[in-house]
């Protein structure tokens, strides 16, 4: 079932390219709505007047227990299971943890915080040692950079390492992750998980887009109101660029253009870095492209606009990985539970509906992003530059979305 993973990430079949017409319809909607927002939308900020986020509620113990059991199950499968690429723990990491994290955060908010066994271990050690907040204050200037490093290490393992299906490599990666995450938590306290644990940070950021949960409690709300609360810290743009760039690289590396060349591991890695860097540099440039602000204020703009990138990331990741999660996810669950069941190909067999869903995710993400960026621009840009100062970001978002649709259509 999962006997072997090919060189470009999670194994097995991939989606058909979306039809050209769908890509065109999606692209024209994205373009039209973008300029409609710029030209016709509100002139006073609407979503940013929210009160500051309250202290998050305490972690729910029953979820901590669930998190412990699930993590134990996955780790047990990974380390005690078969010594080849058919190991169910591999699929659990690549599909259930990595891809499943996104819909989980959208539906249930940042429930990862409650589930995380590493937070539980830290809390227990903290209680015993009397150092609940760790031994050293987490240096603020580090920001999200440790999480960026962790995320990059993960996407490198999945997309650019010599053999992503190598059980030894995955075991080594997970072992390093677990050790670093536990020690970091004990030393720096819970702040470590808010800034440095790649999965925890990823979940926390996606959770701001959840319409169902805010501040850790069920509450139906407009996600455009919770999205601006993404905490700004150094490395935020790099974090989102790593997610978007690596997903685009995954599409690109499956293209005939790339597959027809025998690319060395080093060049593979360099190209992956290149994708992430291009996404980040373009965003930095577009966010700063306005008149009428001091150099100091200009340097703050990318961070203050970074939250608007989240819907584009989530929309594209959904479009790219939905089939993996729904169909390969079944295979992984069957392998984990050691049952012999048939996978139901609910999406693959409905090719047109799948293509329509993928385009819809990308366009919906784009629209949310444009609206979020517009609203924030009204706050951060001086009055005289409110329209012209948004142009760069708008064009960049259109570029991201067109590129995403192009990759979905051509690969």
Partner 1 sequence: MKKIAVAFAAALVLAGCGGSDTGTVSSSPNPNQSSAAEPSEDVVVDIAVKDGKVTPQGDRVEVKVGQKITLHITSDAHEGVHVHSEPEHEYEVEPGDDVEKSFTIDTPGQIAVEAHHLGVTIVQLVVRP
Q: Name the site residues for partner 1 (rule: CB under 8 A).
A: 1, 3-4, 6-8, 11-17, 22, 25-26, 29, 33, 36-37, 41, 254, 256-262, 323, 331, 343, 345, 348-357, 359-360, 363-364, 367, 371
Cβ proximity to partner 1: between 75 and 397 the closer is 397
Q: How far is the CB of 51 from partner 1 (least distance, A)?
A: 23
Q: How far is the CB of 367 from partner 1 (least distance, A)?
A: 5
Cβ proximity to partner 1: between 189 and 329 the closer is 329
- Give CA separation, 122 vs 116, 130, 216, 292, 385, in Å: 10, 11, 20, 47, 48
Closest CA to 91 of 14, 158, 156, 162: 158
Write the DSSP assignment of 108-138 as a string of letters: H-STHHHH-HHHHHHHHHHHHHT-TT-SSPP
Instruction: Find the farthest-apart pair of alpha carbons in the chain and give their distance in angstroms, rounded.
Output: 65
Specify the 3-state DSSP secondary structure of 274: helix
**Half-sphere exposure at residue 88, Cβ-oriented, CA atoms within 13 angstroms:** 18
Cβ proximity to partner 1: between 95 and 355 the closer is 355
Q: How far is the CB of 262 from partner 1 (least distance, A)?
A: 6
Q: Return d(Cα 193, Cα 108) in angstroms, integer.
A: 18
Note whether 126 and 219 are within 8 A (CB).
no
Cβ proximity to partner 1: between 99 and 174 the closer is 99
Q: How far is the CB of 360 from partner 1 (least distance, A)?
A: 4
Q: Return d(Cα 333, Cα 338) in angstroms, integer.
A: 8
Note whether 181 and 118 are within 8 A (CB).
yes
Q: How far is the CB of 240 from partner 1 (least distance, A)?
A: 22
Q: How far is the CB of 267 from partner 1 (least distance, A)?
A: 14
Cβ proximity to partner 1: between 11 and 302 the closer is 11
Cβ proximity to partner 1: between 29 and 188 the closer is 29
């Amino acid at each position: 079932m999962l006997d072997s993973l090919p060189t470009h990430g999670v194994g097995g079949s991939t989606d058909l390219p979306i039809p050209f017409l769908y890509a065109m319809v999606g692209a024209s909607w994205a373009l039209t709505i973008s300029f409609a927002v710029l030209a016709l939308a509100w002139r006073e900020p609407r979503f940013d007047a929210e009160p500051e986020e309250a202290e998050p509620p305490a972690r729910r113990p029953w979820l901590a227990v669930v998190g412990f059991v699930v993590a134990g199950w996955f780790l047990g499968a990974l380390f005690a299971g078969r010594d080849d690429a058919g190991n169910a723990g591999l699929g659990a990491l690549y599909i259930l943890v990595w891809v499943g994290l996104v819909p989980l955060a959208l539906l249930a908010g940042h429930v990862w915080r409650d589930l995380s066994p590493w937070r539980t271990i830290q809390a227990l050690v903290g209680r015993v040692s009397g150092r609940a907040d760790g031994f050293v204050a987490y240096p603020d200037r580090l920001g999200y950079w440790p999480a960026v490093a962790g995320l990059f290490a993960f996407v490198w393992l999945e997309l650019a390492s010599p053999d992503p299906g190598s059980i030894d490599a995955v075991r080594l990666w997970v072992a390093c992750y677990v050790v670093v995450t536990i020690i970091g938590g004990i030393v720096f306290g819970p702040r470590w998980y808010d800034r440095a644990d790649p999965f925890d940070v990823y979940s926390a950021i996606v959770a701001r887009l959840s319409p169902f949960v805010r501040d850790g409690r069920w509450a139906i709300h407009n996600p455009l109101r919770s999205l601006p609360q993404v905490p700004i810290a150094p490395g935020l743009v790099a974090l989102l660029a790593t997610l978007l760039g690596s997903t685009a690289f995954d599409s690109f590396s499956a293209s005939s253009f790339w597959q027809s060349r025998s690319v060395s591991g080093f060049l593979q890695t360099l190209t992956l870095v290149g994708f992430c860097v291009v996404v980040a540099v373009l965003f930095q440039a577009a966010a700063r492209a306005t008149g009428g602000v001091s150099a100091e204020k200009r340097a703050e703009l990318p961070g203050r606009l970074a939250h608007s990138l989240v819907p584009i990331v989530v929309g594209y990741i959904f479009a790219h990985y939905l089939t993996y999660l729904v169909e390969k996810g079944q295979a992984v669950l069957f392998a984990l539970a050691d049952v012999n069941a048939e996978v139901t190909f609910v999406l693959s067999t409905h090719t047109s509906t799948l293509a329509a869903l993928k385009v819809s995710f990308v366009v919906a993400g784009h629209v949310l992003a444009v609206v979020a960026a517009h609203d924030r621009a009204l706050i951060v840009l001086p009055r005289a530059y409110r329209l012209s100062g948004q142009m760069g970001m708008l064009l960049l978002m259109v570029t991201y979305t067109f590129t995403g649709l192009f990759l979905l259509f051509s690969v």
